[in-house]
């Protein structure tokens, strides 16, 4: 037998030679043969305690391939057909094999061979871990009246002030911690390009913002370096219109009775949004 390894000390696959196969060995170079077991295993070979034929799907045998697979729990066995004893299958064209695949003819050739399998490679396929969210970044359920926004970029400006400016809106979002959390859609914040991360965008869109916090908003600063923008696009340089506020409605502004000034450092306000703010008695500077 031969053991394949990953790294220095982890076995990945075990290869066992089950029968002699002169036709196969005669077609391979010495360099390739050295990668396979040299001697035949003389013991009884079973898969999960059963005859290999009882674990191989009948549909695989009917196709007449070079190998068949058997799976028992997390163990996978790849059984290579003996070319010497099952050679007539290999001399058939694909069209011939396909035509016979709906019958038992090819499976019968394999089953009637004295030593149908030349070699088996056995591997343990560890079940993929189930990533269960820690719950830390689940969007909290609303337990009181919340603000509604027609403009998502304006919602982000409010979140910037309440979450990152005043620490009144929780939890304080961290895109790197969010990405590491089990159950979160897989992404690397440092490899994201210049588009909003969908999972982060959805989180900010769904986050409940209690209506009572509106009275704490007195000024807004629209700057390309704001924390909320860099959570959505960590590599963002502030040079595009990703977070421009094109329009604002009276309903957007109505809850913010103490909002007195907006400092548009990044030039994010469109003409209609700027006019709506001014009409609402809010000072806009840039």
3-state secondary structure of 97: helix
Q: How confident is the model at residue 281 (pLDDT cuts 50, 70, 90)?
A: very high
Beta strand ranges found along the chain (DSSP E): 2-6, 10-17, 67-72, 75-81, 117-124, 219-221, 261-263, 283-285
Q: What angle do CA 18, 20, 26 make, to 5 degrees?
A: 130
Decide which of 61 and 244 is more confident: 244
Residue 286 has pLDDT above 90, yes or no: no
Residue 262 has pLDDT above 80, yes or no: yes
pLDDT (tens digit per residue) in 202-249: 999 999 999 999 999 999 999 988 999 999 998 886 667 889 999 999
Residue 265 has pLDDT above 70, yes or no: yes
Residue 276: what pLDDT? 96
Residue 12 has pLDDT above 90, yes or no: no
Residue 64: what pLDDT? 67
Which residues fall within 8 angstroms of residue 15, CB to CB, at 6 or more apart?
1, 2, 3, 4, 36, 37, 119, 120, 121, 122
Residue-by-residue DSSP string for 217-261: --EEE--TT-HHHHHH-TT--S-SSTT-B----HHHHTT-TT--E
Q: How confident is the model at residue 156 (pLDDT cuts 50, 70, 90)?
A: very high
Task: Assess contact for 255 and 213: CB atoms under 8 A.
Answer: no
Q: Stretch 55-61: mean pLDDT, rounded?
A: 83
> DSSP class of residue 160?
I
Which residues fall within 8 angstroms of residue 154, CB to CB, at 6 or more apart?
245, 248, 252, 273
* pTM for the whole structure: 0.57
Q: How confident is the model at residue 128 (pLDDT cuts 50, 70, 90)?
A: low
pLDDT, averaged across the chain: 88
Edge-to-edge order in the sheet of strand 2-6: 2-6, 10-17, 117-124, 75-81, 67-72
184-210 burial, b if ≥16 CB within 10 A, otherwise e?
beeeebeebeeebbeebbebbeebebe
pLDDT (tens digit per residue) in 76-111: 899 988 989 887 777 777 788 778 877 888 888 888
Q: What angle do CA 172, 174, 176 make, to 5 degrees?
A: 165
> DSSP class of residue 209?
-
Q: How confident is the model at residue 59 (pLDDT cuts 50, 70, 90)?
A: confident
């Amino acid at each position: 037998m031969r053991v394949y390894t990953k790294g220095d000390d982890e076995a990945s696959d075990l290869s066992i030679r089950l029968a002699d196969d002169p036709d196969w060995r005669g077609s391979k170079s010495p360099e390739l043969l050295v990668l396979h077991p040299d001697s035949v295993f003389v013991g009884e070979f079973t898969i999960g305690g059963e005859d290999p034929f009882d674990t191989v799907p009948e549909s695989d045998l009917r196709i007449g391939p070079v190998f068949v697979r058997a799976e028992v729990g997390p163990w996978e066995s790849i059984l290579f057909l003996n070319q010497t004893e099952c050679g007539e299958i290999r001399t058939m064209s694909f069209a011939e094999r396909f035509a016979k695949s709906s019958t038992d003819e090819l499976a019968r050739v394999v089953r009637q061979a004295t030593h149908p399998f030349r070699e088996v490679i056995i591997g343990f396929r560890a079940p993929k871990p189930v990533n269960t969210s820690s719950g830390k970044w689940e969007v909290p359920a609303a337990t009181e009246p919340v603000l509604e926004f027609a403009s998502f970029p304006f919602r982000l400006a409010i979140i910037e002030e309440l979450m990152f400016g005043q620490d009144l809106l929780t939890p304080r979002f961290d895109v790197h911690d969010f990405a590491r959390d089990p159950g979160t859609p897989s992404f690397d914040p440092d490899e994201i390009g210049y588009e909003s991360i969908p999972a982060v965008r959805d989180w900010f869109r769904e986050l409940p913002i209690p209506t009572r916090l509106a009275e704490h908003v007195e000024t807004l600063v629209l700057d390309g370096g704001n924390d909320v923008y860099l959570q959505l696009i960590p590599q963002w340089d502030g040079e595009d219109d990703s977070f421009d506020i094109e329009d604002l409605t009276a309903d957007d502004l109505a809850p913010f009775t103490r909002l007195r000034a907006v400092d548009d450092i990044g030039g994010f306000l469109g003409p209609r949004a700027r006019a709506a703010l001014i009409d609402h008695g809010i000072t806009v500077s840039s």
